[in-house]
Structure 1
């Protein structure tokens, strides 16, 4: 097991330990604590391992069995996504390597698929959520991501800075947070990936007020998220309501499709009018 992955697993365990309270696991609390969350000895006792061994595991100094990883994850009350992430970091679940940078636009089939969705704004993304292509419906609503500088052509950076189009998202935080946790899930097994580190650095620069997010090690698969955006064009409804979803084509496994489907009839009618006008 790679040293950097052992360290990443240890950091993942420490982050999980910090958010579990003694009461969550049926303990009394044990008086004053210097730090939030469980103590190492409490996790070790709950997982059935020695304190020294658990300490070494958090410090990235040892490899261990799947049974121990499973026991520690149960002790830390990890959800399914966080548990799977721990297993992948420990080498017990296969992880696809991150594709090299500079991929042009996904497969022709995936590009044709999103281009056929006249009224569904959509993007092709790689695992780092870098934007590879967008369809005409997306361009009409938000602008062409191809106009962004190469290093900033990323979904997280696009949302953190505010979409460059004329329709600002009213509250991008839930969407941005959900996508960031998905990003962490995808890149966590490659802690030295240069592009992923650049994205996090740029997020710090773009939104220093959200530094606790970019340092957070929470992981989760992205769930569909509904947002409202201001319709600045002045025609149609004043608010657009869209549900953002991530899809993965079976035949293009290292590509993600971000779809934005209308959540009400007024938004659907506006997207249809925009498509017809062009």
Structure 2
């Protein structure tokens, strides 16, 4: 159905689908190629046929003119041969009656107590924008004390891309940074009117790597992983990256780094001792 609301997210979804359509070669979906093709990748009508929907409906979908169902988006994702992360990104645009509410800028006493009790293991509380709302001594020792940063810089994306020591601290900086940016882009795309997302995006795009990856509309989902840090004082640290949603504050996430080996555990104790 046509609907005048939610134009921003729909336009973002349409632009994402178009970018993936233009990257998909006809041969990848069993269609014959032709030297007379003027369109990069697949044509809209070809995607529509593969997805089992009308070509006009798919055109409206790319133009951000219609609201559609999860079933249709799954069919389009299959037609475009999207991987699991990008399929999840597309499905996140399914519109529901109740939008996300605003996130409180404070942390509950229970959550704050949990963060502090996890020390010396680094832990922090993030809001939906990846802004740091609370952290413990372990987190400050591993990266930097966010209290020393300007309020607008107390953000995990800012630390990874705009804080110079991050590239030496993270042994796999490019992989970790690219994944984090993909998660941020997937979230920000659903909230185009949110001024904080826009503000963070503007700061990130000043970094050439972030600008390149963002321009490719790359998205990713969170996956538990072991992060390798090369700390200037503690040396090599291997920390399991854990992210949990807070039940009493659903918009907040607990981010914790758990030692993956005995040497890391001992190094963290020495670092914060």
Report the TM-score when normalising by structure 2.
Answer: 0.86
Does the 8 Å contact 2:166/2:173 carry over to 1?
no
In the alignment, the residues of structure 1 paired with residue 230 and residue 39 of structure 2 have an alpha-carbon distance, to the nearest angstrom, of: 42
SS of the aligned residue for 2:172 comes to: coil
Cα deviations by residue, 1:145-177 (Å, 9 ceiling, x for unpaired): 121112221101101124668972233121112
Does the 8 Å contact 1:121/1:136 carry over to 2?
yes
The equivalent position to 1:263 in structure 2, one of 257, 260, 263, is 260
Note closer, same or farther for the CA distance 1:166–1:75 as it changes in structure 2 (3 Å cut).
closer
Query: Aligned runs of 1:54-65 on 2, under 5 Å?
Result: 54-65=58-69
User: Once structures 1 and 2 are overlaid, which stretch shifts more, 163-172 or 73-82?
Assistant: 163-172
Aligned residues: 269
Cα deviations by residue, 1:90-144 (Å, 9 ceiling, x for unpaired): 41586523426xx13x211111111111231111100111111111111122221
SS of the aligned residue for 1:252 comes to: coil
Note closer, same or farther for the CA distance 1:231–1:7 as it changes in structure 2 (3 Å cut).
closer
Q: 1:242 matched to which residue of 2?
A: 239
Note closer, same or farther for the CA distance 1:258–1:52 as it changes in structure 2 (3 Å cut).
same
Displacement of 1:219: 2.9
The equivalent position to 1:17 in structure 2, one of 9, 21, 24, is 21
The gaps in structure 2 that reach 5 residues or longer are none
The equivalent position to 1:40 in structure 2, one of 37, 44, 61, is 44
Over aligned residues, Cα RMSD in angstroms?
Answer: 2.6
SS of the aligned residue for 1:63 comes to: coil
In the alignment, the residues of structure 2 paired with residue 20 and residue 166 of structure 1 have an alpha-carbon distance, to the nearest angstrom, of: 33
Does the 8 Å contact 2:241/2:257 carry over to 1?
yes
In the alignment, the residues of structure 1 paired with residue 228 and residue 95 of structure 2 have an alpha-carbon distance, to the nearest angstrom, of: 40
Note closer, same or farther for the CA distance 1:170–1:216 as it changes in structure 2 (3 Å cut).
same
Query: Aligned runs of 1:5-154 on 2, under 5 Å?
Result: 5-31=9-35, 36-92=40-96, 96-99=100-103, 103-104=105-106, 106-154=107-155
SS of the aligned residue for 1:68 comes to: helix
